[in-house]
Amino acid sequence: MALVPVKRRRRAAAGPVLPEAAAGPGRFPGVVLCLVERGLGARRWALLAERARAAGFCLHSAGSAAVTHVVAEQCSAEEALAWLARRRGSATGSVPSAQTEPGTSTALLDLSWLLESLDAGRPLDVEPRHRLPVTSSETPSPAVPAYGCQRRTPLVHPNGVLTDALETLAQDAAFGGDERRSLAFTRAASVLKALPQRLGSIRELAALPGIGEHCRKVIQEVLEDGSSAEVEAVRRSEWYRTMQLFTGIFGVGTQTATCWYREGLRTLADLRAAGPRLSRQQQAGLRYWEDLATPVTLAEAEAIGELVRAEAWRILPGTTMTLVGGFRRGKPTGHDVDLLLSHPEEGKERALLGPLVTRLEQQGLLLYQQSQPNTFGLEPSSSTMDRFEHCFAIMCLALPGAGGPGTGRAVRVDLVVVPRGQFAFALLGWTGSRHFERELRRFAGRQCGLALSNHGLYDPQREMFLPATSEEEIFQLLGLDYVPPAERNA
Ligand code: UTP
Ligand code: MN
């Protein structure tokens, strides 16, 4: 990918400045917005300001005494006031005085109020849930941001019973082909995963974003009875159990599994006996099913990574190998091993995968493999998969004391070859979790007007890719606080 250098827009050192006189009164008398830049980042600030003005809102800077609605994100009321005071101090060159403090008529609001108002095309009445939380109160409610990529989500959290229940319903909806419904359950589960404490009562849900009526009912049931009748019924159902079994086979998606279920197939023995026309991939998935259903440990993943790296060096010295996926997020086990291969000199990586696969094959280390060339920038595709050169394989991991080649245990391995210029994006994309990635892309699109993929961050207005050499830079370009891999378990 040829990256076009971005000309960074020059901004006044003091931050965005709004010429109030030029701003006009706006379409809504009595409503003057001030957007707190802290927590938003310059890019999103500019984008939101533009949207608000286009919708007819009047925007003033922090120094203006006319401000009626202060809008902030990921911010307590105290933090917003402190930010305003600092801005007023620097704008006037003096210590903020009582006169410049926002009066009691000034509402301190969460960004959700502005986004909802923009959707409605008018300033909405302020509801309690719109107000910024006051942190000095007796019971501080954690302000949980709306997007999974704005939250820190550890691997281990205290609400597993609730999130397992919601994720069962998410999976069931996905099996039924209802992606929207599935996403609603996944989103609710993801919000609960970010809570530092166990959810004590249904009332606490009021402070949380994105928990719909159905989720609330399930949560209430689990809190009160220890389990949800609906969830238990799903878990017992033949449909759900069979779909779980079939979609757990390498190469089998929801559609194939649904067809097999409709044909009356229920077990692996049925599949083997009835012999539906299986793809080569599915045949391998069925043949090594038992090994592949056994979780891969971190030690096994690291051993495979090292083996691949050593073989890669024989072909292309300097090749870098990075273990990504769940292991990079701190998971002790996984369903596969995800490896990114790259080279410091862009272009050199193109000579790697073919010979590497041949070498691994010659040593009896590949039980199955399916390789694809890099197709980035070639034919358009509606697929959400990335276009890197890759080899999706089943490798044979030699067990200590085992015999010759082919006698080890089967492990699913993804080898992905990444040109250096796209490495930061591939690293971010392949680290997951899947929901974290989905939320990052949604955030980039909806909040920044940018298209994020495993290959880059595209600005459609300027028709260019915004370069980044680290994950930190990508978060910065999106105006997001950096979230380390261990806290991307959304
Ligand atoms: P995985 O499916 O391997 O999930 O995808 P995981 O988090 O490592 O979990 P386990 O332990 O193996 O089950 C890893 C990441 O790679 C991305 C996914 O979005 C996910 O975040 N990915 C996967 C891609 O970007 N492209 C792909 O073709 C496959
Ligand atoms: Mn994985």
Ligand found nearest the CA of 384: 1
**Minimum CA distance residue for ligand 1 atom 3:** 325
**Yes or no: domain 149-235 corresponds to CATH 1.10.10.10:** no
Strand pairing category for 457-459 and 464-465:
antiparallel
Q: Could you say which DSSP state residue 31 is in? A: -
Kindly state the average pLDDT of the residues 295-305.
98
Same fold, 237-287 and 434-487: no
Q: Quote the pLDDT of residue 401.
A: 67
**Yes or no: domain 237-287 corresponds to CATH 3.40.50.300:** no
CB of 432 within 6 A of ligand 1: the answer is yes
**pLDDT band for position 254 (50/70/90)?**
very high
Average of per-residue pLDDT values in the chain: 89
Q: Quote the pLDDT of residue 1.
A: 44
CB of 250 within 6 A of ligand 1: the answer is no
**pLDDT over 50 (residue 5):** no
Q: Quote the pLDDT of residue 380.
A: 66
Q: Which long-range contacts (CB under 8 A, 24 or more apart) does 216-220 make?
A: 218/165, 218/166, 218/169, 219/162, 219/165, 219/166, 219/188, 219/192
Ligand 1 atom nearest to CA at 325: 8
Candidate ranges 40-49, 89-98, 332-341; pick with highest mean pLDDT: 332-341
**Tokens encoding 411:** 């492990």
Q: Could you say which DSSP state residue 398 is in? A: P
Q: Quote the pLDDT of residue 247.
A: 98
**Yes or no: domain 434-487 corresponds to CATH 3.40.50.720:** no
Q: Three-state SS across 385-396?
A: CCCCEEEEEEEE
The fraction of the chain above a pLDDT of 90, given in percent, is 75
Q: Quote the pLDDT of residue 440.
A: 98
Q: Quote the pLDDT of residue 289.
A: 98
Active site residues: 336, 338, 414
**pLDDT over 80 (residue 64):** yes
**pLDDT over 70 (residue 434):** yes
CA dist 346 → 162, 342, 343, 386, 389 (Å): 46, 8, 6, 18, 14
Q: Quote the pLDDT of residue 377.
A: 84
CB of 326 within 6 A of ligand 1: the answer is yes
Q: Quote the pLDDT of residue 74.
A: 78
CA–centroid distance for 145 within its chain: 14
CA-nearest of 295, 245, 291, 293 to 265 is 245
The domain locations on the chain are 20-130, 149-235, 237-287, 296-427, 434-487
Ligand 1 atom nearest to CA at 429: 25
**Minimum CA distance residue for ligand 1 atom 1:** 325
Q: What is the pTM of this model?
A: 0.77
The fraction of the chain above a pLDDT of 70, given in percent, is 88
CB of 335 within 6 A of ligand 1: the answer is yes
Torsion, Cα 57 58 62 64, to 10 degrees, reads -150
Separation between Cα atoms, residue 287 and residue 280, nearest integer Å: 11
Number of helices and strands in the chain (H, E): 18, 14
**Minimum CA distance residue for ligand 1 atom 20:** 432
Ligand 1 atom nearest to CA at 338: 3
Q: Quote the pLDDT of residue 243.
A: 98
Q: Quote the pLDDT of residue 196.
A: 96
139: burial class by Cβ within 10 Å (0-12, 13-18, 19+)? exposed
**pLDDT over 60 (residue 136):** no
CA-nearest of 383, 379, 412 to 395 is 412
Separation between Cα atoms, residue 210 and residue 213, nearest integer Å: 10
CATH architecture of 20-130: 3-Layer(aba) Sandwich (3.40)
> What sign results for the dihedral spanned by CA atoms 156, 159, 161, 163?
negative
Ligand found nearest the CA of 292: 1
Listing DSSP states for 193-224 in one string gives HT-SS----GGGGGGSSS--HHHHHHHHHHHH
Q: Which of 75-84, 166-175, 346-355, 423-432 has the lowest mean pLDDT?
A: 75-84
**pLDDT band for position 6 (50/70/90)?**
very low
In CATH terms, the fold of domain 296-427 is: Beta Polymerase; domain 2 (3.30.460)
**pLDDT over 70 (residue 11):** no
Tens digit of pLDDT for each residue in 454-475? 999 999 999 999 999 999 999 9
**pLDDT over 80 (residue 413):** yes
The residue with greater pLDDT, 321 or 97, is 321
Q: Could you say which DSSP state residue 106 is in? A: -
**pLDDT band for position 19 (50/70/90)?**
low
Tokens 């961050």, located at residue: 457
Kindly state the average pLDDT of the residues 298-311.
98
**pLDDT band for position 294 (50/70/90)?**
very high
> Mapping DSSP to helix (H, G, I), strand (E, B) and coil, where does residue 320 land?
strand
**pLDDT over 50 (residue 302):** yes
**pLDDT over 60 (residue 138):** no
- CA 484, 187, 176: angle at the middle one, nearest 5? 130
CB of 131 within 6 A of ligand 1: the answer is no
